Each structure stands twice: as C-alpha cells, then as structure tokens.
Structure 1
Amino acid sequence: MQVYVLLVLCVLFWSANFVLGRFVAGAIEPWELAFFRWLGVFVVTLPFLLLHVKKIWRALREHFGILVVLSALGIAAFNTLLYIGLQKTTATNALLINSSIPIIIVLLSFVILKTRISKLQVSGILLSTLGVIFLVLKGDVQSILTLSFNSGDFWVIASSLCWASYSVLVKFRPSSLSNFEFFITTVSLGLVMLLPFYLAQGYTWEREVMILTHYTWVIAYVVLFTSILCYYLWHYGIAHIGAGKTGQFTHLMPLFGSFLAYLFLGERLEWYHLGGILLIFGGIYLCLFVKKKC
C-alpha cells in the first residue's frame, strides 16, 4: 500500500507543474524553464555526484549507450517538449494526449519486455482513460467534435512518447548504480544535451537574472519537487509494481490539476469532476487492487 500512496503524491506534485507552467507561460520560455530546472537539480546534487564520481564514470564507460538514451528521453526531451507544446495548444488537448501515457507504457512493455496484458488491465486503463476524457470535456461528450489539433499537440504527443519510452526502457538501466546515482548521472547528461539548445536562443544576461530573481519560488519548486522528489518516487514505483501499473497513476493528473486550479487559480469545481473521479479511481482499482494479476 505504501508504494501506491507515494505514487499518488508523486502525481500530485507533478500536476502542480501544469499549473505553474500556465502561470509563467508568458514570462519564462520553455527552453529557459527546462534548462533552469535541470541546472538547479545539478547544483543541488553536485556534492553527491562528486562523492560517487568514480562509480558513475565506470558505469558511463560500460553502459554509455543506454544512459544517453534514458537521459535524452527522461531529462532533456520530456518536459522541454511539453513546455513547448503548451505554448501552442490548449490545456484540454494536452490533458487528453497525456492520458495516453499509461496505454503507451503497457503496449511498449508488451513489445519490449514481453509483459503480459490481462483483460483486467485493459479494462482498467480504458475505464480511467474514459474518466480523463469525461473530465476534460466537462461532461459534454458532444464537445469532442469541436476539438481541433495544431502543431502544439504534436509536441505534447512527442513528450508523452518520450516519457512512456523512458518508463519502459529504464528497466535496462545499469544495475550497478543506485536510484540516486542513476538520477544524477542522467541529469548531468541531460543538462549537457540541453545546453546548446538553450544557448542558441540568445537570451540576454539581464533577462535571465530578472527571471531567476522574480521566479525563484517557481524554479525552486520544479527543482525540489517536480524533479528530485517526483523522479525518485516514480522510479520507486516502477521498481516495486512495474512500469505498466505505475503508468496508470498518470490518469490522476487531470484530476489533481482541476483541484489545484481551483485552489490557486480560482477555477470552479463542477459536477463532472466527481464523475471523472469515479471513473478514474474505478479504472485504477481494476488494474491494481483486484486479486487477479494485471
């Protein structure tokens, strides 16, 4: 039961990332937010990196390929692509696309890891996906006909594919590294990958100082909670219940996002939120708590 509680907290903290992303959309550009986020994580974890540098260097020499792939998918690409997409698409479209992550994880687990897909797992995923759709459509199923897609949606799709792929391929991470050692290794590699793209934007020194001064609390949150804590909890979940079941918790993001928007952005809670809650939790219950293995 402990792992489920920790994953709920993980998704809650991640959901706040969407609220903060909307809050600073006009002030901080995607490349800036992504770079400052991982630079902050690197600075915080640098002392630990130095303590384990010999062990990490050995793992890099022996497993360079998979570490580069995981760093690119989970650190450099995932949130950067999401931040770019949210500049051009609606939150509704982004949440709908994001709800496909558990399905992608299950399918990739079946193809790559040969993980069995049970009827209960399929039923649970479909039910909670229906809950997400019901939630973001505000209970009006006919409004799905009015949804339009633009280039931002494809950035969000790419982001979802990156995170789903990362969640499955992390199974092949070097076993010689602890969770924390693996994390600081991928952060270091991912930051190196982001650096040339960040520098190519040509931001001025005055602008960056202004952003760091005025939005210190935003950077601090995405560094400490969205990055360090959430990544640790996500890997903890994968290690204990597998990528497929862990991915199912992604469906809680629109739910938590609605409540956080109510608390901090003044958005109203409506009847369809309750309907979405029931469907989402029903799907998670089918997949995680029914005695027959999923």
Structure 2
Amino acid sequence: MSRLQANSLLLLTAIIWGTTFVVQQVGTGGLQAITFTGTRMLVGGIFILPLAIRQFRRVHGGERRFGRLDWFGIILTGVILFTGATLQQYGIFHTTVTNAGFLTALYVPLVPIISFFLLRRKVHWAVWPGSACCLAGTYIMSGAQGLDLRLGDFWVIASSLFWAFHVIIVGTMAVRTRAPLVVACGQFFVCGLCGLAIGLPVEQPELVFFHNGLFGILYAGLLSTGVGFTLQVVGQRFTHEADAAIILSSETVFAALAGVLFLAERLGAAEFSGAALIFFGIMIVQLLPMVRRRARRLSG
C-alpha cells in the first residue's frame, strides 16, 4: 500500500468519526448516554472479534504470552474509554455537534501536557503555544462572555481529559502487547459491559428504544468503532505518525460540516474564530515537531 492510499484510509476514518457526532445526537432512538455507549461499543467489539482472536493466537503463541498485567491494562483501558465516551455522549445531548467536535479535540494538546507533568516525558515546545490557542478557542467558541458555557460543553471538555488518558494508555498497551486489535476488542467489550451493567438498571431503557436507535447503534458501532479503528490501524502501518495525527484530527472539521449539513447548525463570527483557534492549536502541536525533524534530516 502506498503512502497516499494509507492517508486516504485515515481521511476516511476522520470522516466517519466526524459524522458520527450527528448520529450520536439524533440517532439514539431514545436511549440515554450510558446505555447507548455500552450498546455501540459491544457492537464494535463483536465486529472486530474474529480479527482480534486471530491476532491473539499469533502473538500469544509465537511472539509473547499475555500475562495478568496485560489483561489488567486492557480492562483499565476499557474503563477509561467508557468514562470518556459516556461523558462525551451526555455532552452531545446538551450542546451542538459543532461545539462537541471541536471541544473533543482538546485531547490533542492534553496528551503531551499529561505526558510532561505526570509521566515526566519530554514534549516539544510547540505544545505550549498550541495549548494556549486551544484554550482561547474553547473560551471564544463556547460563547463564554462571563464564562457562560453550555452545560454540554462542560461534559465534552471533561471527556477530552479522559480521551487524552485513553490515547496514552492505548499506545502503551499496543506497544506492550504487540496486539493492537486485541487491545481494541478487549476495551470495547469492557466498555460495553460497563455501559449495560450501569445503564440498564439506572436508565431503564425500553426495548422500543433499541429498535428506534438501531441505525445509530449500527453506524456508531460498526463504522465509528469497528471500521474506523481498523482503518486507523491499517493506515498507520504505511504512513508517518505525524501525518496520521494531522489527518485524524480533521474529524473536528467534518463534525462541524456534518452539523451544518444535517442539523442546520451555523457558526457565527465569534464561534468560527474560536473553532479556527482550536484547529490552529492542533496544527501547531502536530506540524512543528514534524517540520523540525525533517529539517534536521535534510541538514544532516
């Protein structure tokens, strides 16, 4: 596979993830946040289960054996995924798709910040101006005259923190186990079981809600969770990680476009400026390290 083909797969992934924000707002069929999250994650886990089993047999039987710490890490990954996805889903119910898309992207600068302060890992200096742009954009985009944020914006911002932790632990577990599909499938099942174990008794959904939300469940479960992750894994085998991060972060743009096309959402001048600042901050974090690395290779 060529690098152009791989980048095209990653772009398709970003489109799927971006448009899923619309489905998560209007396609749940009456299901509330916890139950919908659990159901869609179980669907995604079942979808990639055959691939995960095949990979597990190859790795466990030949490269390295899975131990207790591996399974504990996968369970922890699933719990973090459940928390982030549930907070995001609840926030989407109480804000616009456009806001949800761009505010979720705050995880991009949060990842290196967490790595620097908590894990003591080195980060590129570009993270600081990038983070400042994202914070300023969040303030402007949310209509924050006097910090009057929408309720849903707070939930989405909170979810971005868990998405940041999720990105870190997923990368750690994928490297440790050498089996990213096993990690993905395991976390989906953990997240799904947590969602149904909590959602069914707490939210008490009716059976008709599952029927009414079938399209949303399948779209978010099969496409966003199953296909989206699989395309990401395949694409990142054949392209540079910096290129992949830039392309995948464009899901925020596709979320905004989907909100305009399908929900008649509109960006005012202030909101557009805030969204542009967030996107600019994301690009700073992703582009500057790549430019410097390439400059060093050319000079060397």
Q: TM-score, normalised by structure 1?
A: 0.74
Which amino acid in 1 is paired with 2:159?
Answer: S
* Aligned equivalent of 1:27, options 25, 30, 37: 30
Q: How many residues align?
A: 283
Aligned residues of 2:53 and 2:182 also touching (Cα < 8 A): no
Please tell me the root mean square deviation across aligned C-alpha atoms, in Å.
3.9
Contact 1:85 1:154 in 2 (8 A): yes
| In 1, Cα distance between equivalents of 2:219 and 2:279 | 27
- Residues 57-110 of structure 1, C-alpha deviation per residue, up to 9 Å, x if partnerless? 952534232222111112x22211211233445667645643432221111122
1:214 equivalent among 212, 215, 218: 212
2:223 to 218, 222, 225: 225
Output the CA distance in 2 between the equivalents of 1:6 and 1:277. 25
Q: In 2, are the aligned partners of 1:20 and 1:218 still within 8 Å (CA)?
A: yes
Deviation at 1:249, TM superposition (A): 6.3
Corresponding residue for residue 178 of structure 1: 179
What code does the residue aligned with 1:172 have?
A: T
The equivalent residue for 1:111 is 117
1:78-117 aligned at under 5 Å gives the runs 78-88=84-94, 94=100, 97-117=103-123
Q: Is the 8 A contact 1:131 1:276 kept in 2?
A: yes
Distance 1:90 1:266 in 2: 10
> How big is each residue's C-alpha offset from its partner over 1:203-241, in whole Å with a ceiling of 9 and x where there is no partner?
36xx32x23433322112101221123334556788876
Match of 1:37 in 2: 40
Per-residue displacement from partner, 1:106-148 (whole Å, max 9, x unpaired)? 11122355443333343344446655665x35xxxxx421543
CA distance in 2, matches of 1:179, 1:265: 35
Q: Report the Cα distance in structure 1 between the residues aligned to 2:254 and 2:201, rounded to whole angstroms.
A: 35
Structure 2: segments with no counterpart, 5+ residues? 295-300
What per-residue deviation string (whole Å, max 9, x for no partner) do you get for residues 6-37 of structure 1?
A: 54443332222221222146722112211220
Q: Specify whether residues 60 and 28 from structure 1 end up closer, same or farther in structure 2 by C-alpha distance, changes over 3 A only.
A: farther
Question: Would the aligned equivalents of 1:82 and 1:155 in 2 still touch at CA under 8 Å?
Answer: yes
Q: Which segment is superposed worse, 84-93 or 25-34?
A: 84-93
- State how far apart, in whole Å, the 2-side matches of 1:253 and 1:155 are: 19
What TM-score results when the alignment is normalised by the length of structure 2?
0.73
- Equivalent in the alignment of 2:145: 145
Between the aligned partners of 1:103 and 1:241, the Cα distance in structure 2 is 19
Picking from 124, 128, 144, the partner of 1:122 is 128
> What amino acid sits opposite 2:77 in the alignment?
L
- Is the contact made by 2:80 and 2:165 (CA closer than 8 Å) also made in structure 1? yes
Query: CA 1:12–1:32 in 2, change beyond 3 Å: closer, same or farther?
Result: same
- Asked if the contact 1:125–1:248 (Cα under 8 Å) also holds between the matched residues in 2, the reply is no
Pairing of 1:194-205 with structure 2 (within 5 A): 194-201=195-202, 203=204
Question: CA, structure 1 residues 52+265, in 2 after alignment: closer, same or farther (shift >3 Å)?
Answer: same
